[in-house]
Structure 1
Amino acid sequence: MMQQWITIFFDVLCPVFILVLIGVWLQRKFSLDMYTLSKLNIYFLVPGIIFTKLYETALSINILLTIAGFTLLLLGLLYLISNAIAYLFRFSKSMRVAFSNSVIFYNSGNYGVPVNDLVFKQDPFAMSIQVIVLLIQNITTFSYGIFALQSNDRSPLKALLSYLRLPVLYAMLSALVLNMANIQLPDAIYLPATYISDAVIAIALITLGCQVAQLRLKKNLWKVYSSVSLRLLLSPALAAGILFLFDVQGVTAQAFMISAAMPTSVNSAIIAQEYKNEPEFSAQAVLASTICSALTVTLVIYISGQMF
């Protein structure tokens, strides 16, 4: 188990934190414009990675529907629990949305994919499960996640119309159509999309570092700790319950449970910055959950191996 912790720390966490620290340094030295960075992520980079992931992934309909169903069920349970806590402690409307987003949206991409690759030793079946979780996470983050943030100060109709202007929606739809129809894109179109996709992880983590550089670390800490507890401890526990309920075993169960243990998604902080909805809390939740995940993810990997 200690060897697993050391391997995950150096192979997964160190690259993440190096990029975050670069973002902190850049922000303190050059005072980068957060508005521009958030626009770059939302309107350019995220549509690129969603398009390429959806276009490239060989999707089995049976596995796709099963894992998508499990993921949506897990997100629904986390949504209900996080909102119940937010109402119980009388969070403001903006904080309720930010708190819920920090719990239900997790880093299944630049954290979850490397962890899956490490644990299952490049098993394509295990990776296909992780990719499906990643796709559902991206779709929900950039549909419900953005819609909920916009609904804070707009009517539902205006929030929906605003969402329809985002390129993320059309990147998802076009990629799904091309994938299902097995249409081969010419290199002149496909290669630029892959270049954009390759840039996402670095720019997203640098953006997080820029946000971290502006944090006042003593604000809303109990809310951050509550979010981290739900994200890192309750989420994999609920995933295990879902797997037992549907009698799922083997690699499928292990991969899904491990995916549910990932820290809060960087994208939740990016959209919070874009729509100016508790960006400080959101960035702190990402940072704190990523740090704490060095221990919790290792524990979940070990426990899932014993359970399934």
Structure 2
Amino acid sequence: MVIFFEVVLPVLLVFLIGFLVQKWRKIKIPAVSEVAIYIMTPCLVFRTFYTAELNLQYFYMVIFSIVLLFALIIINKIYSFIRQYPQSTEGGMILATAFMNTGNYGAPIILFAYGEAGFDYSVSFLVLQAIIMNFFGVYYAARGNAGIKIAMKAVFLMPATYAVIIALLAKGFNVAMPNNLMATVDIIAEATVPTVMIILGMQLALIELRNFEWGKIAYGTVVRLILSPIIAYGITVALPIDPLLTKVLIVSAAMPSAATIVMYAVQFDSEPKLVSSITLMTTLISIVTITLLLTLLQ
């Protein structure tokens, strides 16, 4: 219970604030999201990569992400084949289970649980997952509809991509950033996490609680919250990963479905009701599963 009150509850309360404000004021979420995507997140990403000591651990993070993604995709393909689901349902299942909410849920939890060192790893993993999501997520949502072309465009339209490139170039060529400029970046970066947490609460307020397909939701919930961290644990055992990074990756892999993926499902009509339902249920149930996982890893 200590873990719940000290780590999980503060995060949930911020989500709740966003949820209640959206129910009350009906704020236009895309406008708020654009501020977070185009201004706040790039500053946080730039600061993280510019100040981080890049080493082999980041390479292992990439390997971990790729193996986990394809393991979950294969599981969904096998399950969809056995159940004889159409391609659209298979795509919806992959969207809901292969992509986790490392941004406005995972990063805050890890910050509270493991401090700034863990948070730096979490932000790096967040960027990597965003790139993977923008490519594979868009592909599975828009499969058969120029998916790869749209996915590649999405990756290069993401400001965080350029923030990583600029930070790595500045770091590689030992470019010293002026103190006043870094102070500005710091101020904006510090506002990023609470903002994206509030946005998630606002997004959850828009999900409709009706016409649930409970069998598919149960499957998606088990894969996302239970099977995914188990697979993640197996991958970390096979790689020489730092103990702190191991915890960050396992906890990140146990996060609920990514809220962003709902937008892809809606945009490309890839089972949007199913994807949003799994997103909602995994977010609610993760209150228990994340608490238990943090306790086990402690």
TM-score tier by shorter-chain length is: 0.7 to 0.9
For the 8 Å contact 2:11–2:109, the answer to whether it is kept is no
Tell me, in whole angstroms, the C-alpha distance in 2 between the residues paired with 1:154 and 1:50: 29
Q: CA deviation at 1:292?
A: 1.7
- Structure 2 match to 1:24: 19
Which of the numbers 34, 38, 62 marks the counterpart of 1:68? 62
Q: Give the aligned residue type for 1:230.
A: V
In the alignment, the residues of structure 2 paired with residue 276 and residue 167 of structure 1 have an alpha-carbon distance, to the nearest angstrom, of 26
- 261-270 or 244-253, which deviates more: 244-253
Point out where structure 2 has 5 or more consecutive residues left out of the alignment. none
Tell me, in whole angstroms, the C-alpha distance in 1 between the residues paired with 2:240 and 2:50: 31
2:174 paired with 1:182: yes
Matched residue type, 2:62 = A
**Which residue is 1:101 aligned to?**
95
**Residues 142, 268 of structure 2: 8 Å contact kept:** yes
Consecutive unaligned residues of structure 1, counting only runs of 5 or more, are 1-5
C-alpha contact 1:205 1:266 (8 A) present in aligned 2: no
Structure-1 residue corresponding to 2:10: 15
Change (3 A) 1:131 1:69: same
Q: Deviations over 1:142-200 (max 9, x none)?
A: 44334544556445335534543443332232223223333222345434433443333
Aligned letter for 1:66?
Y
Partner of 2:74: 80
TM-score by length of 1: 0.76
Corresponding residue for 1:172? 164
The root-mean-square deviation of aligned C-alpha atoms, in Å, is 3.5
Q: Structure 1 residue 253: deviation in Å?
A: 4.1
Amino acid in structure 2 at the alignment position of 1:137: Q
Letter in structure 1 aligned against 2:10:
P
Letter in 1 for 2:221: V
Residue from 181, 185, 204 that aligns with 1:193: 185
Aligned counterpart, 2:284: 291
Amino acid of the structure 1 residue aligned with 2:173: A
**3-state SS of paired residue (2:257):** coil
Q: TM-score if structure 2 supplies the norm length?
A: 0.78
User: Is residue 129 of structure 2 the alignment partner of residue 137 of structure 1?
Assistant: yes
Q: Deviations over 1:68-117 (max 9, x none)?
A: 21232112211222344345545565554443233222233454445445
Displacement of 1:302 in angstroms is 4.3
1:3: which partner in 2? none
Matches within 5 A, 1:1-308: 6-60=1-55, 62-86=56-80, 88-89=82-83, 95-116=89-110, 119=113, 122=115, 124=117, 129-146=121-138, 148-149=140-141, 153-154=145-146, 156-161=148-153, 163-222=155-214, 223-246=216-239, 250-251=243-244, 253-269=246-262, 280-304=273-297
Distance (whole Å) between structure 1 residues aligned to residue 23 and residue 277 of structure 2 = 17
2:51 is matched by which residue type in structure 1? E
**Cα separation, partners in 2 of 1:181 and 1:227, compared to 1, 3 Å:** farther
Using the aligned pairs only, state the percent identity. Answer: 25
Deviations 1:229-277 (A, max 9, x none): 1111001111222234447685554444333223333443465567776
Matched positions, count:
297
Secondary structure of the 2:102 match is coil
Shift of 1:135: 3.6
2:43 & 2:296 partners in 1: Cα distance? 35
